[in-house]
Amino acid sequence: MSAETIDHNTLSRLVEAGAVRGAHVIGQAGGWGVLIKYGMHERPLAASRSKQVRTFKKLETLVAYLKDIGISRFDVDAANYDPANIKTYSRPDRAEALKQAHEAAAYDKWFRQEVEQALKEADDPNTVWIPHEEVKASWARKRAELMKRIKDGDTA
């Protein structure tokens, strides 16, 4: 294979222009790669971010990709395909981040519901309002009772 690759955007434009002569799917240790034939060139498809040769773990995924882009006829070479050597990637860091995102979304939903309920209660004309001084006095009495219990050794 050539060291040069072809990216998705270029391949799309070449297919639209009718310049692609064919595609050759090649089995390899990590899955399936594809060589695109156009003009006098034959280049492997590149992964979008790394520009390395793109490898598809499943042939079905590669077939769907090629059909989506407009290539429905291609040949397959499975001589070097090794299904036992397909690497799987575990992303525990992403799983934890996703879990935290779900927890944050659930908390946000709960918090918004609580605020909405509090606003409804505050706007209700039947709501009984207790003066601030009365609330302060009530808590002062409770604090004094607790302090007395602590001083007397009553922790129950």
Q: What is the CATH number of the domain that holds 14?
A: 3.30.2180
Give the C-alpha separation, 135 to 130, whole Å. Answer: 7
The verdict on 103 and 74 lying in the same domain is no
Residue in the block written with tokens 């690759």: 5
Predicted TM-score (pTM) of this structure = 0.53
In 3-state terms, what secondary structure has residue 28?
strand
The verdict on 61 and 16 lying in the same domain is yes
Both tokens of 13, joined, read 């434009």
What's the pLDDT tens digit per position in 17-34?
999 999 999 998 878 999
End residue of a domain, out of 44, 66, 85: 85
Residue 34 lies in a domain: yes
The number of distinct structural domains making up the chain is 2
- Domain range enclosing 58: 8-85
What's the pLDDT tens digit per position in 90-142?
677 888 899 999 999 999 999 999 999 999 999 999 999 999 999 999 999 99
